[in-house]
Amino acid sequence: GSALAGLALTGIPSDFIDLTLSKTQRKTPTVIHKHYQIHRIRQFYMRKVKYTQQNYHDRLTQILTDFPKLDLQLHPCVQWDLFMDSCTCCSPIYLPAVFPLIIVANKCDVKRIAELPEESQKIFENFEAEGFSVIETSTLTEEGVIQVKTEACDRLLAHRVDTKMKGNKVNEVLNRLHLAMPAKRDDKERLPFIPEGAIARKKRMEVDTPRRKTERDLELEMGDDYILDLQKYWDLMNASEKYDKIPEIWQGHNILDYIDPDIMKKLEELEKEEELREAAGEYDSEPESEDEEMMEIRQLAKQIREKKKLKILQSKEKDTRGPRMPRTAKKVQRKVLEKEMSDLGLDMTNKDDAHYARRSRSVTRKRKRDESETPTSVARSRSSSRPPRDVSGLRDEKMVKKVKTMAKKAQTKMNRMGRKGEADRHIFDTKPKHLLAGKRKMGKTQRR
């Protein structure tokens, strides 16, 4: 314990590497230039490599030297552990217990019991006379190890069965058990049934017929000429259909139905026909003369293009770079709009059919007031056609008062709870965690 306590900490591998490289950086030169000769640059880096190698060697040697050394001669239980490890597949902690006893004489490869003196042989003979098994073993040659294992398991199983048979629960278990002893029915011979497929498979395995070539075998055999072909394994009723082209369906239609195999041939025929027409001068005829209406349209379009160019020049002359008002926010005067449209050549005389002016409301005669209606000053409503919402659906003043009373009573609970309104569902925290949890240190109570 004291030897292990005095060991120095080695640290994790990354720290071990960092410490060694840091020492190399401190103990070796750090300046090198590219214009130095190659042997000088090689010497510079090899010095660092050799120094780092020596540091690693020294530190690892020191770690191994600091480990405590165990003298196996002082621990007689080591041979016992080796023997038990050879008998079992685990390394348990062996404790003494009341179990069947077997005498095992180890190291029979060095000396056997028959080669011992008579006094020592009598000791083993007395053990055998008392009923204990004496087995010679050797962990080196593994002689007798399996025999010890088998003998120990059989005796331990018999010991456990005997212990259970002596217990009180044996009768309860025996009542539930029934040992069936089959009796011979007749002298008829009943051979085991083996399917023919299993027999044939066994024969094939014995003959060791060559197995089917896999795709991997074909790939290794063919090399660069190999092409993966999975269609040859398709199980179809007609083997000739394996390599048929699969049609491509788009929106329920087969695209192949719309493909013309002679389309290129037809295209060449059309091009030849077009060349013949051009050679015959079919397209050399002068265009028809334009009528009067078309001339007016072209003249109007020319004026519009000229007006547009003038607008662009006027905008460039202004050169306004300050904040601009959006077009939708500008007030457009009707006279300016009419002038601009008339300058562009539009007829603005018929204004009634134009859609840029809002339709005015026709003047109607006011309706006379009936004497039975309540004056507007008494009702205090904004519109005679729509009553206020607090009195809509109520019959008379009596019902209005009753509704106000009911609303006031319904508001009592909300006022008592201190709610902000009917939609207030806030749940207050009477003991806030950030103010009450934790140890109180320096500072105010609101900060812990």
Give the model confidence (pLDDT) of 417-438 as tens digits. Answer: 888 888 888 998 999 888 888 8
Q: 133 CB contacts (<8 Å, ≥6 apart)? A: 102, 103, 151, 155
Average pLDDT over residues 329-358: 76
pLDDT of residue 381: 45
CA-CA distance, 443 to 448, in Å (whole number)? Answer: 7
Tokens of residue 431, six digits: 């003991």
100: enclosing H helix or E strand = none
pLDDT tens string 5-57: 677 777 788 998 999 999 999 999 999 999 999 999 999 999 999 999 999 99
| pLDDT value of residue 335 | 85
Residues of the chain above pLDDT 70, percent: 81
CA nearest neighbour of 17 among 47, 46, 60, 50? 60
How confident is the model at residue 40, as a pLDDT? Answer: 94
Q: Is 143 helix (H, G, I), strand (E, B) or coil?
A: strand
What one-letter code names the amino acid at 164?
Answer: K
Residues whose CB falls within 8 Å of the CB of residue 345, separated by 6 or more in sequence, listed in order? 300, 303, 304
Q: Tokens 């840029």 map to which residue?
A: 356
> Parallel, antiparallel, or unpaired for β 102-105 and 133-136?
parallel
Phi, psi angles (nearest 5°) of residue 250? -135, 115
Q: For 137-168, how does the pLDDT look when each residue is reduced to its tens digit (9 = 90+)?
A: 888 888 888 888 888 888 888 888 888 878 77
Residues 364-382 have pLDDT tens digits of: 555 555 555 555 444 454 5
Against a cut of 0.85, is the pTM above it?
no
195: pLDDT strictly greater than 70:
yes
User: Please, are residues 299 and 309 in contact by the beta-carbon 8 Å criterion?
Assistant: no
Dig out the tokens for 161 from the structure: 């069965």
Domain coordinates in residue numbering, the chain: 2-66, 73-168
